[in-house]
Structure 1
Amino acid sequence: MSCPARAQLLSNTLYYKIFFPYYAFNVLGGLDSEGKGCAFTYDAVGSYERTGYSAQGTGSTLMMPVLDNQLKYPSPLLLPARDAVTPLSESEAVDLVKDVFASAAERDIYTGDRLEIVVINSSGTHREYFELRKD
């Protein structure tokens, strides 16, 4: 099943419970049919949009400005035209995720104490744990 198809399936699942919603604010990521990365962000009742990156939860208001600063080009009017999101290598992406979560954990009491990063690539699955704070 393609990532856009899973995005629609999740939207349908959330919308099915519109009168008694799950109140889960999801982010779904993967690859589309062209092999490009995609991220879908949702509200509680299943409305979604495709974005280059996203964050949800209590720390999202702290994470999104950092992600915007690091990933988004300053203006869509730049010439020559470029993608809206800066391409990152796998190690750069993992380091950025660690930095963003560490920053949010220092300022948001509801962000957890430990981060689990799961990287899925052509060589398999790699799981990495990162301690955010020790207080």
Structure 2
Amino acid sequence: MSCPAMAQLLSNTLYYKRFFPYYAFNVLGGLDNEGKGCVFTYDAVGSYERVGYSAQGSGSTLIMPVLDNQLKSPSPLLLPARDSVTPLSESDAVDLVKDVFASATERDIYTGDKLEIVVINASGIRREFIELRKD
């Protein structure tokens, strides 16, 4: 199943269960039919949008402005439309994720104590676990 098809399936599932029990804010990522990365972000009842990057959860209000600044996301109102994300190397992207979660953890009591980063590429799957709080 393609990622855009999975995005529609998740939207339908969330909408069908909008009253109970799937009241969740989701992010779905993968590859589209052209082999390009795609990210879909959802509200609680299944409305979704394809974006360049996303964050959900209690720390998202702290994470998204930093991502916007670092990835130089252009306004969707600009014409002609421009690419939505500044490309990063894998190591730069992982470092950015570590930084934004470390910042969010210091300011949001609901953000967890550990971070799991899963990197999926042509050579396989790699997992990193980072302790965010030590108090």
Whether these two folds match at TM > 0.5 is: yes
| Distance in structure 2 (CA, Å) of the matches to 1:61 and 1:126 | 28
Alignment identity in percent? 86
Distance 1:63 1:122, change over 3 A: same
User: Are residues 1:22 and 2:18 paired?
Assistant: no
Q: Which residue does the alignment assign to 1:69?
A: 69
Task: Map 1:1-135 onto structure 2 (within 5 A).
Answer: 1-73=1-73, 82-135=82-135
Structure 2: how far apart are the matches of 1:14 and 1:77? 31
Equivalent residues, number: 134
SS of 2:23 mapped into structure 1: coil
CA displacement at 1:73 relative to structure 2:
4.2
SS in 1 for 2:33: coil
TM-score of the pair, normalised by structure 2: 0.92
After TM superposition, what 4+ stretches of structure 1 lie above 3 angstroms from structure 2? Answer: 73-79
SS class of match (1:118): strand
CA distance in 1, matches of 2:44, 2:79: 35
Q: 8 Å contact 1:2–1:32 — kept in the other structure?
A: yes
Paired amino acid for 1:36: K
Looking at structure 2, the residues matched to 62 and 69 of structure 1 have their Cα atoms a distance apart, in angstroms, of 12
Unaligned 5+ runs, structure 1: none
Could you tell me which runs of 5 or more consecutive residues in structure 2 were left unpaired when the two chains were aligned. Answer: none
